[in-house]
Amino acid sequence: MDKKISENGDYALMRSMKSDIMEDEERKLENGEIETGHENSGPMSYILTETFRRQPHRKVGSFSRKLVAICASTGGPKAVAKIVPKLPENLGAPIVMVQHMPKGFTSSYAKRLDETSAISVKEAEDGEMLEDGHLYIAKGGAHLRVFQRRSSYYISITDEPARSGLKPCADIMYESLEKLDFDEIICVVLTGMGSDGTRGIGKLSEKKNVYVIAQDEATSTVYGMPGMVKSAGLTDEIVPLESIADAIIKATGTKIV
């Protein structure tokens, strides 16, 4: 059955979260009481010490193979809840996402988003095939990689050690995309502490055709991750939170029907 988005879908999602542990988790995140996904070290995954030799972005046709790869940390759950319900069911790309979140929380988080979104949202599972119009959220306490078999793309969930204290780690997700044959990879960097995603996107941009959208400082809870990717000279667009969904729709070449 097709899902419909109500005009107050974002509000309905956040109100539903108030009835469970997600609200408490978000409060702890913003108050600095916990570091979701961070183990034994700070949340910095990369300090800018090198210049990336990024390939110039190339425009591709509407029927090209595209992937959207999102990363977020502190403030991310609320930011994503304002973006995903605005995406159309016919979005012309699959989405993979790393949100720094502890083990046991990503499944309920994905279900809440799925209830108010036209696209399908779920916690990523090992071995499942990517489909357009689907969002796969990295499992808390595990890493997400993407691999290719012939002309299809699949998710790999791994239990390798945390990187720079992060598990899941966006850099690991982005580096797994280097060997895939997508015509364009749309990287979206949202609010978050630290710099996770910058090195992964930087290295990816040296080998693949990437388009990078970053959340602006004014609407970020913490301007760490989007600020760092901007400082590295990797951004194509810097937009406020309310414009990110439109930027993704445009970048994927999706026509609203």
Residues designated as active site: 73, 100, 196
Residues 26-62 as b or e (16 or more Cβ within 10 Å = b) = beebeeeeebbbbeeeebbbbeeeeebebeeeeeeee
Backbone angles phi, psi at 67, to 5 degrees: -135, 140
Please provide the distance, in angstroms rounded to a whole number, between the alpha carbons at the two ends of the chain: 17
Sign of CA dihedral 11, 17, 22, 25: positive
Sign of CA dihedral 32, 228, 165, 76: positive
- Amino acid, res. 27: R
Dihedral sign of CA atoms 231, 232, 236, 238 in order: negative
Q: Tell me if 201 sits within 8 A of 233, measured CB to CB.
A: no
C-alpha to C-alpha distance for 253 and 64, rounded to whole angstroms: 9
The DSSP output letter for 257 is: -
CA of residue 101 relative to chain centroid, distance: 12
Strand order in the sheet with 210-215: 120-123, 134-137, 95-99, 66-72, 184-189, 210-215, 237-239
Instruction: Specify the length of the chain in residues.
Output: 257
Give residue 99's identity as a one-letter amino acid code.
Q
